[in-house]
Each structure stands twice: as structure tokens, then as C-alpha cells.
Amino acid sequence: MKGFVCSVCGFVSIDGTAPENCPVCGAPQKAFQEKDALNLPQDPKNLTELEKKHVPVVRIVRKCGLVPEGCIDANVRIGETLHPTLPEHFIVHIDFYVDKKFVSRVMLKPEKVNPAVGLHIRVKSGKLTVIEFCNLHGNWITETDF
């Protein structure tokens, strides 16, 4: 899947345009290149072992336990089979988009944390896109309506 990729931080714009400035690192539009940047499973109903470790799994919780007033939790785990967190193979970051617009990046370090995060969303409905970046296998994407 194509996207505009920031050559400085690896942010992927998925709305079909290169932003004026990168929302993650602030790099100018000229730092973006359009390319095949996102891995998708060949058959979502029959994942390969590689895909089972890389496709983000999203669970939407409509009642937030931390911010009960108008908050939806998006819990993300990297992989149906939990992705490794080794110095030589780990998830670098997880990016969140609502309706194709970037909203957050969570950075991860190997060995100390699991490849799983939660985001508290104030929007009542939309399409959530999650892109994770594996240091060995690149960007993997999943989308879900909430």
C-alpha cells in the first residue's frame, strides 16, 4: 500500500497527500516521498506466521476506565502472536490515525515494554488506523471502525 513517507522520522501520510510539515518531526514537505510503505496481509483470514507477529490487533472499549466522560479506549497489541521485544528485533513505534488524520505516536524500546499500547479517543465514531514499525520488517497497518 502506498503512502507519503517522511525521510527523517518514517511517518507515513495515508490521506493521499504529503503534509506541509511532518506532524511527528516537523520536516518540510520536500522530505516526503511517495512509495509502497505499508505491509498488508495477503489473506486476512489466513495469516502467515510473519503476519501473525506484525499485524496490529485493535480492541475498542466504549467505556473508558480512566476518563469515563466521553472517552473510547483503543487498545492495540502488535500481533496475534505477540511480537518479539529483543534488541535485534522490536517494534520502534506505533502511529494512530482517526479518519486518516494522524493523532499520536507511541515510541517503544526493546526488552522493557510489551508491544502493546492504549489510546484514549475523544471522538465518538470514525475509522481508526494503526501503523506499527518493526525495525526488521517495516510498517504494518490495520483499520477498524469505532
pLDDT value at residue 58: 98
Same domain for 122 and 60: yes
User: What confidence tier does 21 reach under pLDDT thresholds 50, 70, 90?
Assistant: very high
Instruction: Please tell me the pTM assigned to this model.
Output: 0.95
Same domain for 70 and 8: no
Q: What CATH number does residue 4 fall under?
A: 2.20.28.10
**54: part of which helix (H) or strand (E)?**
helix 49-54
pLDDT value at residue 68: 87
Same domain for 138 and 67: yes
pLDDT value at residue 65: 86
Same domain for 91 and 49: yes
Same domain for 54 and 28: no
Q: What CATH number does residue 67 fall under?
A: 2.60.40.730
> Considering only CA atoms, which of 16, 20, 11 is closest in space to residue 104?
11
Range of the domain at 10: 1-36
User: Is 77 a residue whose pLDDT tops 90?
Assistant: yes
Domain count, the chain: 2
Contact 9, 39 (CB under 8 A): no
- Start-to-end CA distance of the chain, whole Å, equals 22
User: Is 78 a residue whose pLDDT tops 90?
Assistant: yes
Rounded average pLDDT over 6-31: 98
pLDDT digits (tens, 9 = 90+) for 111-131: 999 999 999 999 999 999 999
Exposed, middle or buried by CB within 10 Å (0-12, 13-18, 19+), for 66? exposed
Cα separation, 45 vs 111, whole angstroms: 30
